[in-house]
Amino acid sequence: MTSGHKVQVGVLGAHGRMGTEVSRAVDGADDMELAAAIDVGDDRDALRGCDVAVDFTTPGAVMDNIEWCIGSGLNVVVGTTGFDTQRLDQVRTWLTGNEKSGVLIAPNFGIAAVLMMRFAEIAAPHFDSAEIIELHHPNKIDAPSGTARRTAELIARARAGKASPDATTQQLEGARGADVDGVHVHAVRLAGLVAHQEVLFGGHGETLTLRHDSLSRESFMPGVLLGIRWVMEHRGLTIGIDEALGL
């Protein structure tokens, strides 16, 4: 990036709740310029000439958007959820041999949320039990959340196959939540909430609860701007903003 050049940013999903906040944050950043703001179904040609496209659309639209952006030589920052191993591998395939594009896909752009996930990973091997409760607004279309899924994956990896004790033999379907790599995840959808998560650990005579609360969508914007700056300088696929934070 040349001195004095403002990063030209295009926002996909610009009319949504997160897209609106991203557009406002980019517009207020001294080193960026909002060059395009489009929504699902709009002509993506408006993104040509941008340095970075930021995607906050839907799980059904995001993969096609990423493929198009990579094919057009754009960098991409993705906050849309719904990414599993298969989808991440597909993005890596699209990036093979591409020296123009960097893609950053983050389960959560909240800096405190990223720290919560890191703390959970550190604590995970030291307790007998680990479970996750995630709580979001009722308009969220995926469950569990991308943050909860990623947290569970990190916990499972840190525990190296260690299972939580559970004598349940009779249950209503779904009562024990989703099983993500052996970690139970419970999803709550409730009016009035934004994005919240608790990670519960239990051991001999003690428990540890890690909780993160996003009280407004503005809380994610410092991480989004950090991701835009990061992807300008890093090719290939980056998962999360951990590395950008120096974690």
Catalytic machinery residues: 136, 140
How far apart CA 106 and CA 136 sit, in angstroms, is: 17
Q: 3-class SS at 98?
A: coil
Burial of 158 (0-12, 13-18, 19+ CB in 10 A): middle
Q: What are the start-end ranges of the E strands in the chain?
A: 7-12, 32-38, 52-55, 75-78, 102-105, 129-136, 178-180, 183-189, 195-202, 207-214, 236-239
Amino acid identity, position 93:
T
Rounded Cα gap, residues 34 and 9, in angstroms: 5
- Residue 39 structure tokens: 């929504």
Q: What is d(CA 65, CA 69) in angstroms, rounded to the nearest whole number?
A: 6
CA atoms of 222 and 224, how far apart (whole Å): 6
| 6, 27, 30, 34, 219 from 78: Cα distances, Å | 20, 18, 21, 16, 16
